[in-house]
A and B are shown apart, each in its own frame.
Chain A
Amino acid sequence: AAGVIQSPRHLIKEKRETATLKCYPIPRHDTVYWYQQGPGQDPQFLISFYEKMQSDKGSIPDRFSAQQFSDYHSELNMSSLELGDSALYFCASSLAAWGSSYNEQFFGPGTRLTVL
């Protein structure tokens, strides 16, 4: 079965550089979520999109922006990178399940960003 695809899997950047992370949700899934997991920490919600519109926002820095495109893939753009941005970035997708009891989130393998 198709899973969530994230690219790149590993990324090394210098301070003050920019980075773009990409997420390809499971086919037919209409909702995408981004999470950040720092070293030794629990995943933290950043932002989500439903049908290409931002649906919720967490503790995402102003230096970060994201969008969901017409083909439902999503990109997380990160500018002016800081050492503290080094983390695993997970994308998850789900399908709105009207009338169902739950629409589970399927997570991708993550992108490991290292800022030097």
Chain B
Amino acid sequence: DAKTTQPPSMDCAEGRAANLPCNHSTISGNEYVYWYRQIHSQGPQYIIHGLKNNETNEMASLIITEDRKSSTLILPHATLRDTAVYYCIVRAYYNQGGKLIFGQGTELSVKP
């Protein structure tokens, strides 16, 4: 599975968009980009995933560059409840699932 690099921490003002970057320059053609987040001591929570197209759901948007070497998770209107550690994970898709390898994520602090 490809290695990812994320900034260790970021701040965001409440109500503003939070843009969380992730570098995955060694990503291979069959690997997806997944985002999970962990609010303090709770179980990680799935946010979104994508292969090469931009994706949007009710929680966030995922923008993947054309060369797929980096991506950005966008929380359009951050709230205090979005304060969490955000993990970018790159791995191949398996029908039967597959383990998640959590690297150093980004600790996002949303401030009033």
Residues of A within 8 A of B (CB): 4, 31, 33, 35, 42-45, 48, 50, 55-56, 58, 88, 90, 92, 94, 96-99, 101-110
Contacts and interface: CB of A to CB of B under 8 A. Distances in A.
A42 B51 CA distance: 24
B49 A42 contact: no
Contacts of A56: 98-99
A108 B49 contact: no
A109 B49 contact: no
6 contacts: A35-B102, A42-B104, A43-B100, A90-B43, A94-B97, A96-B95
Contacts of B85: 42
A88 B96 contact: no
Contacts of A35: 100, 102
Given A90-B43, A90-B44, A107-B42, 4 more contacts: A56-B98, A96-B95, A101-B93, A103-B95
Contacts, number: 70
B97 A48 contact: yes
Given A102-B49, A107-B45, A42 B87 contact: yes
Given A42-B87, A98-B95, A92 B101 contact: no
